[in-house]
Structure 1
Protein backbone atom coordinates (compact mmCIF):
# COMPACT_ATOMS: atom_id res chain seq x y z
CA UNK A 1 0.00 0.00 0.00
CA UNK A 2 1.31 3.42 -0.94
CA UNK A 3 1.19 6.68 0.91
CA UNK A 4 -2.23 7.90 2.03
CA UNK A 5 -2.97 10.99 -0.06
CA UNK A 6 -6.52 11.92 0.85
CA UNK A 7 -9.52 11.06 3.00
CA UNK A 8 -10.65 8.37 0.55
CA UNK A 9 -7.30 6.58 0.90
CA UNK A 10 -7.57 6.89 4.68
CA UNK A 11 -11.09 5.43 4.74
CA UNK A 12 -10.02 2.53 2.50
CA UNK A 13 -6.93 1.84 4.62
CA UNK A 14 -9.01 1.94 7.80
CA UNK A 15 -11.49 -0.52 6.30
CA UNK A 16 -8.67 -2.93 5.40
CA UNK A 17 -7.12 -2.66 8.87
CA UNK A 18 -10.47 -3.27 10.60
CA UNK A 19 -11.15 -6.27 8.36
CA UNK A 20 -7.68 -7.68 9.08
CA UNK A 21 -8.18 -7.49 12.85
CA UNK A 22 -11.76 -8.79 12.66
CA UNK A 23 -10.59 -11.82 10.64
CA UNK A 24 -7.58 -12.31 12.93
CA UNK A 25 -9.82 -12.26 15.98
CA UNK A 26 -12.09 -14.91 14.42
CA UNK A 27 -9.37 -17.25 13.22
CA UNK A 28 -6.64 -16.84 15.84
CA UNK A 29 -8.52 -15.27 18.76
CA UNK A 30 -5.91 -12.50 18.93
CA UNK A 31 -6.66 -8.79 19.19
CA UNK A 32 -4.63 -5.73 18.20
CA UNK A 33 -2.76 -5.45 21.52
CA UNK A 34 -1.73 -9.10 21.46
CA UNK A 35 -0.52 -8.95 17.86
CA UNK A 36 1.36 -5.72 18.59
CA UNK A 37 3.16 -7.36 21.53
CA UNK A 38 4.08 -10.47 19.53
CA UNK A 39 5.38 -8.36 16.66
CA UNK A 40 7.36 -6.15 19.07
CA UNK A 41 8.96 -9.23 20.63
CA UNK A 42 9.76 -10.71 17.23
CA UNK A 43 11.41 -7.48 16.03
CA UNK A 44 13.41 -7.15 19.25
CA UNK A 45 16.97 -8.47 19.24
CA UNK A 46 16.66 -9.50 22.87
CA UNK A 47 14.68 -12.41 24.26
CA UNK A 48 13.82 -10.29 27.33
CA UNK A 49 11.84 -7.04 27.38
CA UNK A 50 10.36 -5.23 30.35
CA UNK A 51 6.62 -4.74 30.31
CA UNK A 52 7.37 -1.05 30.90
CA UNK A 53 9.25 -0.89 27.57
CA UNK A 54 6.27 -2.45 25.78
CA UNK A 55 3.93 0.00 27.53
CA UNK A 56 6.09 2.97 26.50
CA UNK A 57 6.33 1.91 22.85
CA UNK A 58 2.69 0.93 22.52
CA UNK A 59 1.02 3.51 24.77
CA UNK A 60 -1.34 0.72 25.93
CA UNK A 61 -3.15 1.34 29.18
CA UNK A 62 -1.79 -0.88 31.98
CA UNK A 63 -5.03 -2.89 32.15
CA UNK A 64 -4.91 -3.83 28.45
CA UNK A 65 -1.21 -4.63 28.57
CA UNK A 66 -1.57 -6.85 31.65
CA UNK A 67 -4.55 -8.66 30.14
CA UNK A 68 -2.80 -9.18 26.78
CA UNK A 69 0.44 -10.42 28.37
CA UNK A 70 -1.46 -12.89 30.55
CA UNK A 71 -3.40 -14.25 27.57
CA UNK A 72 -0.21 -14.67 25.52
CA UNK A 73 1.41 -16.40 28.51
CA UNK A 74 -1.60 -18.74 28.79
CA UNK A 75 -1.19 -19.53 25.06
CA UNK A 76 2.49 -20.32 25.76
CA UNK A 77 3.64 -17.65 23.31
CA UNK A 78 5.69 -15.88 25.97
CA UNK A 79 6.71 -16.12 29.61
CA UNK A 80 6.91 -13.62 32.45
CA UNK A 81 9.11 -13.19 35.49
CA UNK A 82 9.94 -10.53 38.05
CA UNK A 83 13.14 -8.54 37.74
CA UNK A 84 15.86 -9.61 40.18
CA UNK A 85 16.77 -5.93 40.58
CA UNK A 86 13.25 -4.59 41.19
CA UNK A 87 10.39 -6.89 42.16
CA UNK A 88 7.87 -4.37 40.80
CA UNK A 89 9.19 -4.82 37.26
CA UNK A 90 7.77 -7.57 35.07
CA UNK A 91 10.11 -9.01 32.46
CA UNK A 92 8.58 -10.59 29.38
CA UNK A 93 10.79 -13.25 27.84
CA UNK A 94 10.60 -15.88 25.13
CA UNK A 95 12.35 -19.18 24.71
CA UNK A 96 13.71 -20.28 21.33
CA UNK A 97 10.60 -22.47 20.93
CA UNK A 98 8.24 -19.59 21.76
CA UNK A 99 10.11 -17.25 19.38
CA UNK A 100 9.69 -19.82 16.61
CA UNK A 101 5.94 -20.10 17.33
CA UNK A 102 5.63 -16.31 17.18
CA UNK A 103 7.59 -16.18 13.93
CA UNK A 104 5.28 -18.77 12.33
CA UNK A 105 2.16 -16.99 13.58
CA UNK A 106 3.29 -13.59 12.28
CA UNK A 107 4.17 -15.18 8.92
CA UNK A 108 0.64 -16.65 8.73
CA UNK A 109 -0.89 -13.28 9.60
CA UNK A 110 1.18 -11.53 6.94
CA UNK A 111 -0.49 -13.70 4.29
CA UNK A 112 -3.69 -11.70 4.93
CA UNK A 113 -2.03 -8.42 3.99
Structure 2
Protein backbone atom coordinates (compact mmCIF):
# COMPACT_ATOMS: atom_id res chain seq x y z
CA UNK A 1 0.00 0.00 0.00
CA UNK A 2 1.35 3.40 -0.91
CA UNK A 3 2.60 5.73 1.82
CA UNK A 4 0.44 8.52 0.37
CA UNK A 5 -2.58 6.67 1.77
CA UNK A 6 -1.19 6.78 5.32
CA UNK A 7 -2.90 10.04 6.39
CA UNK A 8 -6.25 8.77 5.15
CA UNK A 9 -5.80 5.43 6.93
CA UNK A 10 -4.78 7.30 10.08
CA UNK A 11 -8.04 9.28 9.93
CA UNK A 12 -10.09 6.14 9.30
CA UNK A 13 -8.57 4.21 12.20
CA UNK A 14 -8.88 7.26 14.47
CA UNK A 15 -12.57 7.54 13.58
CA UNK A 16 -13.09 3.81 14.11
CA UNK A 17 -11.33 4.02 17.48
CA UNK A 18 -14.46 5.39 19.12
CA UNK A 19 -17.39 3.09 19.99
CA UNK A 20 -20.01 5.79 19.37
CA UNK A 21 -18.72 6.41 15.86
CA UNK A 22 -18.60 2.67 15.13
CA UNK A 23 -22.24 2.38 16.21
CA UNK A 24 -23.16 5.34 14.00
CA UNK A 25 -21.49 3.63 11.04
CA UNK A 26 -23.41 0.45 11.81
CA UNK A 27 -26.66 2.43 11.75
CA UNK A 28 -25.68 3.94 8.40
CA UNK A 29 -24.94 0.50 6.96
CA UNK A 30 -28.69 -0.06 6.67
CA UNK A 31 -29.43 3.29 5.03
CA UNK A 32 -29.38 7.05 5.34
CA UNK A 33 -29.98 8.70 8.71
CA UNK A 34 -30.43 12.26 9.87
CA UNK A 35 -28.08 13.68 12.48
CA UNK A 36 -30.96 13.47 14.99
CA UNK A 37 -31.51 9.80 14.17
CA UNK A 38 -27.80 9.08 14.59
CA UNK A 39 -27.74 10.87 17.95
CA UNK A 40 -30.95 9.29 19.26
CA UNK A 41 -29.54 6.02 20.72
CA UNK A 42 -26.92 7.93 22.71
CA UNK A 43 -27.36 10.20 25.69
CA UNK A 44 -25.70 13.18 24.04
CA UNK A 45 -26.56 16.56 22.64
CA UNK A 46 -26.87 17.18 18.92
CA UNK A 47 -23.67 19.25 19.20
CA UNK A 48 -21.79 16.25 20.62
CA UNK A 49 -23.24 13.96 17.93
CA UNK A 50 -22.20 16.49 15.32
CA UNK A 51 -18.59 16.29 16.52
CA UNK A 52 -18.64 12.53 16.02
CA UNK A 53 -20.18 12.96 12.59
CA UNK A 54 -17.52 15.50 11.63
CA UNK A 55 -14.81 12.98 12.59
CA UNK A 56 -16.48 10.37 10.38
CA UNK A 57 -16.79 12.92 7.57
CA UNK A 58 -13.16 13.94 7.95
CA UNK A 59 -12.13 10.32 7.50
CA UNK A 60 -14.32 10.08 4.40
CA UNK A 61 -16.44 7.38 6.01
CA UNK A 62 -19.71 9.27 5.58
CA UNK A 63 -21.19 11.97 3.38
CA UNK A 64 -23.56 14.58 4.73
CA UNK A 65 -26.16 16.23 2.53
CA UNK A 66 -28.20 19.23 3.60
CA UNK A 67 -31.86 18.95 2.64
CA UNK A 68 -33.57 22.12 3.78
CA UNK A 69 -32.86 22.27 7.50
CA UNK A 70 -32.15 18.56 7.77
CA UNK A 71 -28.69 17.03 7.53
CA UNK A 72 -28.80 13.52 6.08
CA UNK A 73 -25.80 11.19 6.36
CA UNK A 74 -24.91 8.12 4.33
CA UNK A 75 -22.09 5.60 4.53
CA UNK A 76 -19.14 5.85 2.15
CA UNK A 77 -17.66 2.34 1.96
CA UNK A 78 -14.43 3.06 0.07
CA UNK A 79 -12.30 4.09 3.10
CA UNK A 80 -13.48 0.99 4.99
CA UNK A 81 -12.48 -1.13 2.02
CA UNK A 82 -9.02 0.45 2.00
CA UNK A 83 -8.62 -0.16 5.74
CA UNK A 84 -9.73 -3.76 5.26
CA UNK A 85 -7.17 -4.23 2.49
CA UNK A 86 -4.46 -2.87 4.81
CA UNK A 87 -5.54 -5.21 7.63
CA UNK A 88 -5.69 -8.21 5.29
CA UNK A 89 -1.90 -8.11 4.93
CA UNK A 90 -1.54 -8.69 8.68
CA UNK A 91 -4.28 -11.30 8.68
CA UNK A 92 -2.33 -13.29 6.08
CA UNK A 93 0.93 -12.73 7.99
CA UNK A 94 -0.46 -14.00 11.30
CA UNK A 95 -2.36 -16.86 9.67
CA UNK A 96 0.90 -17.99 8.06
CA UNK A 97 2.78 -17.73 11.34
CA UNK A 98 0.11 -19.68 13.19
CA UNK A 99 0.10 -22.34 10.47
CA UNK A 100 3.88 -22.68 10.89
CA UNK A 101 3.48 -23.01 14.66
CA UNK A 102 0.76 -25.63 14.18
CA UNK A 103 2.99 -27.63 11.82
CA UNK A 104 5.90 -27.38 14.26
CA UNK A 105 3.80 -28.56 17.17
CA UNK A 106 2.32 -31.44 15.19
CA UNK A 107 5.76 -32.63 14.03
CA UNK A 108 7.39 -32.45 17.49
CA UNK A 109 7.22 -35.43 19.81
CA UNK A 110 4.75 -34.79 22.59
CA UNK A 111 6.48 -33.61 25.75
CA UNK A 112 5.08 -34.99 29.00
CA UNK A 113 3.02 -32.45 30.86
CA UNK A 114 4.40 -31.89 34.32
CA UNK A 115 2.69 -29.54 36.71
CA UNK A 116 4.83 -26.73 38.08
CA UNK A 117 6.35 -27.56 41.44
CA UNK A 118 4.97 -25.63 44.37
CA UNK A 119 7.28 -23.63 46.55
CA UNK A 120 10.33 -24.13 44.32
CA UNK A 121 11.64 -21.45 41.95
Contact 1:38 1:102 (8 Å CA) reproduced? no
8 A contact 2:66–2:72 mirrored in 1: yes
5+ residue gaps, structure 1, are 1-27, 109-113
Give the alignment partner of residue 94 of structure 1, picking from 75, 95, 100. 75
Structure 1 stretches of at least 4 aligned residues deviating more than 4 Å after TM superposition: 102-105
Q: Is the 8 A contact 1:77 1:102 kept in 2?
A: no
Using the TM superposition, give the Cα deviation of residue 57 of structure 1 relative to its aligned residue in structure 2, in angstroms: 2.7
Map 1:1-113 onto structure 2 (within 5 A). 28-29=13-14, 30-42=17-29, 44=30, 46=31, 48-83=32-67, 87-95=68-76, 97=78, 101=81, 104=84
Which structure is larger by alpha-carbon Rg, 1 or 2? 2
Change (3 A) 1:60 1:101: farther
Q: Please, what TM-score do these two structures have when normalized by structure 2?
A: 0.48
Structure 1 position 60, deviation (Å): 2.8
Gaps of 5+ in 2: 1-12, 89-121
Shift of 1:51: 1.2
CA RMSD of aligned residues (A): 3.0
Q: Is the 8 A contact 2:61 2:75 kept in 1?
A: yes
Per-residue CA deviation, residues 7-32 of structure 1 (Å, 9 max, x unaligned), is xxxxxxxxxxxxxxxxxxxxx32222
